[in-house]
Structure 1
């Protein structure tokens, strides 16, 4: 137990000593809140122009999270940097020599970074919700409305899982450039294309970001074959699979 505590403390020191990781978390907060508030204000002005069907499907809670798609970019960078910085600097050899139990090493790093991301993500999710609802005025939702608290909590959990998934991918690939070169197109290009093309839409619904975002919706806007927590469970499976792959590769190969 003493070894685990020491490794956790070491990982915390590594994270807080790298300035770029702090900046990426701060950027995630600013972008998510600011863009969500802006889009909420624009949605308020356009509400009367919506068709009757669009007004029924209007989801003020989910609209306030409109900036999360861009905000998660910073969290992806954070997750990749937490892992791959040691590989790019060569410090991974020293770390693994000090902690030869690779399972303890990996999951201590994951635990510290995930906890930090969780705190930031939850604060961001609640601030984003309240800022967005303030911009929506008469069309706003309230935290006590059915499904709203679940959606806000789900927003924080979604951002946390995005971070952990990025860390797992970086553990498998080891290179920051390669990891970002795969994750960025995957979330911002491939997922969007698969989810919006009718021929591949059913496949896109099972990608981690599209499935995970269901937990942030109060009003169902599509015909997905799963509900909010079902989509969240699909995302969890993606994260678990990536973590398993990262652990296996870390254990089998040299630094």
Structure 2
């Protein structure tokens, strides 16, 4: 038990002593809140000119999370750097010499990073919700409204899972450039294309980001026909994350440093 505690402390020291990982979390917070406020301002100004259909499906809670799509970029970078930084610097050999139990080493790294990113993601989710609703004024939602607390808590959970999924991919690929070169196009190009083209929309809705974002939705669009609910979407995202982590652990144990 003492050995596990020491490894956890070591991983915490690594994360907070590397400026790039600290900055990426800071960027995620600022971008998510700032862009969310901006979109809420635009939504408030345009509300009176909206059609009846758009007003019926107006989701003030989900609007406040509009910055999450860009904020997750920083979370992806954080997840990749947490795992792959030691490979790019060569410190992985020293770390494994100090902690030869590879499963415990990687588990401790992921546990510390996941706990940190969940706390940051949850704080960011609540902050962007309250800031966005303050801007929306009379069109706002309240935390006690049906589905709102679930959506706000789910926003933090979504950010954590995005980072954790990225950690699993980084554990498989080891290279930060290769990991980011795959994850960025996957989330910001491929996912959007598959989700917005009618021929591939049914496939796109089962990708981790599109499924996970369902949990932040309170008002369902009139023409949406997604065969799962908010927690079903998170379940799909958890399955993707678990698969990435399982592959990462297997490859990490089998390969040389």
Q: Trace 1:164-183 onto structure 2 (pairs within 5 A).
A: 164-183=164-183
Name the structure 2 match of 1:242.
244
Name the structure 2 match of 1:198.
198
> 1:53, CA displacement in angstroms?
1.2
> 1:115, CA displacement in angstroms?
0.5
What is the TM-score with the length of structure 1 in the denominator?
A: 0.99
Cα offsets for 1:25-47 (capped at 9, x unmatched): 00100000000000001001111
Please, which runs of 5 or more residues in structure 1 have no aligned partner?
none
Name the structure 2 match of 1:3.
3
Determine the C-alpha separation between the residues in 1 that align with 2:200 and 2:109. 36
> 1:54, CA displacement in angstroms?
1.1
What is the TM-score with the length of structure 2 in the denominator?
A: 0.98
Cα offsets for 1:36-89 (capped at 9, x unmatched): 000001001111121111111110000000000000101111111111110000
> 1:2, CA displacement in angstroms?
1.2
Determine the C-alpha separation between the residues in 2 that align with 1:145 and 1:132. 15
1:113 aligns with 2:113: yes
User: What RMSD, in angstroms, separates the aligned Cα atoms of the two structures?
Assistant: 0.6
> 1:110, CA displacement in angstroms?
0.3
1:67 aligns with 2:51: no
Please, which runs of 5 or more residues in structure 2 have no aligned partner?
none
What stretches of structure 1 move > 4 A for 4+ residues in a row?
A: none
Name the structure 1 match of 2:254.
252
> 1:220, CA displacement in angstroms?
1.4
Q: Trace 1:1-255 onto structure 2 (pairs within 5 A).
A: 1-221=1-221, 222-255=224-257
